[in-house]
Amino acid sequence: MTIVAKPIKMARFFKHRIENKGTVPGSLIFIGQQKMDKPRLTVIDYNQDNLIEFEPKDVSECFRYKHTDSITWINLYGIHDTDMVQQIGENFEIHPLLLEDVLYTGQRPKMEEFDAQIFIVLKMLKYDDKEKVIISEQISIIIGENYIITFQEQPGDVFGPVRERIRKMKGRIRNHGCDYLAYALMDTIVDNYIYAIERIGEQIEDLEEQIIEKASQSTLQEIYTFKKEISFFLKVTRPVIEIMNKLKKVETNLISKKTKPFIKDLDDLVMHSVDTLSTYREVLSDYLNIYHTSVSNRMNEVMKVLTIFAAIFIPLTFLAGIYGTNFDFLPELHFKYSYFIMWGVMIIVAAIMLLYFKRKKWL
């Protein structure tokens, strides 16, 4: 089998799959951006009484945990190493099509059920306050009878609290099976969605005052930036609702009845996240309308002032034109106070027009 792995620049909404064009389905070809030099494995094996945590030097050290009575969490950082992904897949009997999905970092969040495994793809999201951009990383989760295997693009995930609960025997996690561990991982990912939504929401709401009082071209750029990020956010969170619905209804020994109420609660959080994102998208559309209305109103104010000046100067120009004509017998042409009389008439005309505009409420 030909295995290719190389870093390439990817679009956010759709990643091109030209690398595996024409290949046999299930071919292991990494499609994404390589984010670390060397892959890294971590293993956490535990039950109610014991805990083993280490980093294997060789992938084969993980294989003995396939048929143990304890719960094992195997995590691979660096899915660009297709050889290591293939070895894990062959030993744990993971279908080649699932491994193909693991290696495609543009995969849509989804869940697939097999006889002895459940496969889940999600996106871990972080919001960069400074750059105002959402950073995405794909996480693939394979749930077996007594093990969970996760595939990540790079270190620096959001699972620190889950690891601490396992180490310190906090909560239910040490007393439940792999399904509860999978729920805990997904719950942490969704919690991070909510945190990111809160951060981006605060910045979106701060735009309202800016739009009303001092809307500028930079304000318009911010609105478009937020709209793009919200669209991307919705793209990777909406499919999670479908995943939760499948997990609630799936009939398999890998998901116990005790865990399904937690999954239902997680489904509510996902729904809340999507609803909030949809609301913010509508708010941004309203902001865009307010911005254009504000710009139009300011332009109208400018045009109104210019029109008033033009209206005032039209009769004054007429008077000045009459006074400046070159006729010898123009009345009061040689009168001593003609110049001052003309100025007085012009001022009176301008004042009368201003009063008229004010009475009409045009000013």
Percent of the chain residues topping a pLDDT of 70: 89
**pLDDT tens digits for range 229-287:** 999 999 999 999 999 999 998 888 899 999 999 999 999 999 999 999 999 999 999 99
Sort residue 132 into left (φ over 0), alpha (ψ -120 to 50) or beta. Answer: left
The answer to whether residue 139 scores a pLDDT higher than 90 is yes
Predicted local confidence at residue 1, as pLDDT: 39
The answer to whether residue 209 scores a pLDDT higher than 50 is yes
Q: Average pLDDT of 96-113? A: 91
Predicted local confidence at residue 83, as pLDDT: 92
Sequence-distant (≥ 6) Cβ neighbours of residue 301 within 8 angstroms: none
pTM: 0.79
The answer to whether residue 194 scores a pLDDT higher than 90 is yes
Percent of the chain residues topping a pLDDT of 90: 48
Listed in sequence order, the DSSP H helices in the chain are: 82-91, 96-103, 160-167, 178-214, 217-249, 260-323, 338-359
Predicted local confidence at residue 346, as pLDDT: 82
Element spanning 148, H or E: strand 147-152
Of residues 40 and 294, the one with the higher pLDDT is 40
